[in-house]
Chain A
């Protein structure tokens, strides 16, 4: 396995982390969804590259599923939801952007330190992959914590899941059946969340989770 294979895998994985930062930065919902689709597309490329490098044809199926569901179906569904909810103009930030970005950088540094140290003797490709994957997971969580709009929380959740897929494909040997069931459970989660979004909206005239807290009498 030459340097080129490694570099390209590195490029895609690093690209995912970069896109996670873009996600973190976007405060407009439509733009957020587009970036999310882009992230899923890059993930699919990365998975396909791994399939080629590891000579594991079933990973092509994983890549296909990623493109079909994450890059197309889910963003489109979320687009339509945002349009129907009429929240596309909303700007939502709970924590200001600059501290969020700084926290994100710290998280990436942390995951690099942890992963590179812990996986001392492993295959360098897997090591880098795992480190990037952990960064994507942490950034996804950070996004869920810092946003109050339900749609952007969903996006944070989905991008967290992208990180998991990246880790799994890099580690060699995740069974296909696991990947497929994860993909479907994500889809079902989307449906459930979608239904909840509309219910919340019906009840409170907003999808801002702050309203839920206010309703419970938790003044902030």
Chain B
């Protein structure tokens, strides 16, 4: 499809947003908006996927819109085509899911007009080829998603989430603006083509890297700029949460890739270090804090932070290898990062769809009030299980492949000549392993508490399976998670053109290897065969099940009554989310959240109930953000007196400012 086709698709989404304002019955509005979004994004997805797979030539287009001397420039290359695939597939899936889920929305007019705008803005960010178009659509994306976060503003906490989000988003955009300004430099040409052409004569590249890491990283959820994410993502309706977590964070990763890998020029040796450090800290913090949450959607949001950390670790590796001239290793790391971008968009959307299904069925997000849902919602349970296994990076699903590729890249680090990187990368690898293990624990907890055991509330007892649209959307994503894990070579080969575009080289073609195996470096060193692993796991699991059923379950057993681990038949005797997290909480207490537990045990004979109190602190908020917030409010309070001056005092202020500037001019020149 030619480039105007994509822009027409974006325009169609914007028009769709306007039609949401037409008065009509709520039911038909939901169908029109989500159906329309589904059609448009499906077409865009197909076109972008074709562009990527056919390795078509880049397209560009300049429209006489916007700033007169700049116009509006658009371009579609392999990188933007890949991100478009991620965006539009996630958007199409979310739209399809919302055909069912959106019916339960209480105030659809707070969601419907902004939803297509959000999709259109994300598409535009990726297509933009100058700083102005990029920042405009970036900000449009922030504002539309903010409106969606605020759609349930009556719920306690959501208004604060929206506030924190909009503040962080504005500061992030500001940082990106500064980054583009520095890159345009003296030439003052804000097209990406010009920035790319003048990359060699650029100074202050380190500052641009820091600004990009902050601007794009705060959108993606990099620590310590992640605080808004676990507040804002769960606050939106579930299909929007899926888009924000699964897709919008990928647009942020795209922003970082575009600036640092494409526009900024050849990497300097130390560029990898800050990226690796923030990535590693982000991964561990996300995994650790996610394990402490009881709100299902908040667990998923923290897990997004963890996955973004994984992606940035791989990006940092790619920067480190590339700056030392090991392009092949850099290509491996970058492929791992991009593969994980795709994977995370698949399974995070799936998990948010699942949490939305639970929300529809039970009205509960708190895991402590769920339980035993596998019998009541078998399809949702099955696909949630798929999502949980995939995101825990277990074979044969897709999460394993990308993290395995990242570890392969980490194992290559001894070739580097820089001692800083040589010492740092193994430590980062250890943190990545820790994060992966913690994420696994978090998802065992999610699935075990929500779906296994017995229901902990009436709502969970009376839950029934959700509508067909939701189940189909989850099924499609679950199957894709499996497919990408079983046939990873296909994905790696599809990523080849954009890795080549960004680094000048790419991983070897994987399709020549037999049995659909992949070998990141050389077959003699390490290889992975998703299909074989899948077949082995399936057969051995089936065999085990048959043996157990044939020889164990069918036997008649005699057992004491009311026992079997449940001498008391109360659901409260089961593991709770808090008790499941307790070991990890105790081990990491000082590091992450200064947990304090207090047990109030009544003396024998005393009839009052015992109390257990658990307090968790957010150390990053308390020590990183609270001082800043206090300072800002302090200054604002001090300046508040300016609101109540007399007319003459205001005039005097203006006058004093003028005289001061003139004096400065007189002294300066």
Query: Which of B644, B652, B665 is the one whose CB lies under 8 Å from A118?
Result: B665
Query: Which of A94, A117, A216 is the one whose CB lies under 8 Å from B648?
Result: A94
Q: Are B652 and A145 in contact (CB under 8 A)?
A: yes
CA distance A206 to B318 in the complex (A): 75
A-B contact pairs, 18 of them (CB 8 A): A107-B659, A110-B662, A110-B663, A111-B662, A114-B666, A117-B666, A118-B665, A141-B651, A141-B658, A144-B648, A144-B655, A148-B648, A209-B646, A209-B647, A212-B646, A212-B647, A216-B644, A220-B646
B646: A residues at CB distance < 8 A: 209, 212-213, 216, 218, 220
Task: Report the 10 A-B pairs with minimum CB-CB distance, sorted nearest first.
Answer: A213-B646, A113-B666, A145-B652, A114-B666, A141-B655, A114-B662, A145-B651, A117-B669, A145-B655, A114-B665
- Tell me if B's interface is mostly helix, strand, loop or mixed: helix
Residue numbers of B with Cβ under 8 A of A are 644, 646-648, 651-652, 654-655, 658-659, 662-663, 665-666, 669
| A71 contacts chain B at the CB level, 8 A cutoff | no
Closest to A109 in B: B666
Per-residue CB contact flags for chain A residues 66-83 toward chain B (1 = under 8 Å, else 0) read: 000000000000000000
| A138 contacts chain B at the CB level, 8 A cutoff | yes
A117: B residues at CB distance < 8 A: 666, 669
Query: Chain A's nearest CB lies how many Å from the CB of B367?
Result: 55
| A142 contacts chain B at the CB level, 8 A cutoff | yes
Query: Chain A's nearest CB lies how many Å from the CB of B666?
Result: 5
Q: Knowing that A212-B646, A218-B646 are A-B contacts, what are 13 other residue pairs whose CB atoms are under 8 Å apart, sorted by A's residue number?
A: A107-B659, A110-B659, A110-B662, A110-B663, A113-B666, A114-B665, A117-B666, A138-B658, A141-B651, A142-B655, A145-B655, A209-B648, A218-B644
CA distance A145 to B669 in the complex (A): 28
Q: Are A145 and B648 in contact (CB under 8 A)?
A: yes
- Which chain A residues (167-218) contact chain B, with CB distance < 8 Å? 209, 212-213, 216, 218
Q: For chain A, give the interface size range.
A: 20 to 34
CA distance A216 to B643 in the complex (A): 12
Answer whether A138 and B669 are a contact pair too, CB < 8 Å, given A144-B651, A209-B646, A212-B646. no
Closest to A116 in B: B666
- Tell me if A's interface is mostly helix, strand, loop or mixed: helix
Query: Chain A's nearest CB lies how many Å from the CB of B205?
Result: 35
Query: Chain A's nearest CB lies how many Å from the CB of B659?
Result: 7
A148: B residues at CB distance < 8 A: 648
Closest to A214 in B: B646
Residue among B644, B655, B666 with max Cβ neighbours from chain A (10 Å): B666
CA distance A107 to B662 in the complex (A): 10
A212: B residues at CB distance < 8 A: 646-647
CA distance A94 to B658 in the complex (A): 21
Query: Chain B's nearest CB lies how many Å from the CB of A217?
Result: 9
CA distance A154 to B147 in the complex (A): 47
B665: A residues at CB distance < 8 A: 114, 118
Closest to B654 in A: A141
A144: B residues at CB distance < 8 A: 648, 651, 655
Query: Chain B's nearest CB lies how many Å from the CB of A196?
Result: 11
A118: B residues at CB distance < 8 A: 665, 669
CA distance A27 to B665 in the complex (A): 33
CA distance A138 to B661 in the complex (A): 13
Query: Chain B's nearest CB lies how many Å from the CB of A183?
Result: 23
B644: A residues at CB distance < 8 A: 216, 218
B658: A residues at CB distance < 8 A: 138, 141
Residue among A145, A213, A220 with max Cβ neighbours from chain B (10 Å): A145
CA distance A216 to B648 in the complex (A): 14
Q: Are B659 and A138 in contact (CB under 8 A)?
A: yes
Query: Chain A's nearest CB lies how many Å from the CB of B655?
Result: 5
B663: A residues at CB distance < 8 A: 110
CA distance A142 to B658 in the complex (A): 11
B662: A residues at CB distance < 8 A: 110-111, 114
Query: Chain A's nearest CB lies how many Å from the CB of B609?
Result: 56
Per-residue CB contact flags for chain A residues 139-161 toward chain B (1 = under 8 Å, else 0) read: 00110110010000000000000
